[in-house]
Amino acid sequence: MLLAGNPDDLNAKVPQAVNLNAFPTTFIVGRDGRVRAVHAGFPSPGSGEFYARAEHEVTELVERLLAEKESRQ
């Protein structure tokens, strides 16, 4: 869960959210605290192969990010 503070602070703290108009929108954050990917919307299981492909891509990304070593800042 990402808490940017006050809603008015969102665009300054998370510039990837500018003009955000799709729900749900997922911000995937790496161990370094930076937004590594933004995924707008999500297909339902009823969309067949598109759903399976999206699920695979998101799972692969999350697993890759979890496998990264933690960076110390």
Closest CA to 13 of 38, 35, 36: 35
Contact between 29 and 2 (Cβ < 8 Å):
yes
Q: Is the pLDDT of residue 7 over 70?
A: no
Q: What is the pLDDT averaged over residues 52-64?
A: 93
- Nearest Cα neighbor of 59 from 45, 39, 73 is 39
Is the pLDDT reported for residue 58 higher than 70? yes
Phi, psi of 62 (to 5 degrees): -65, -45
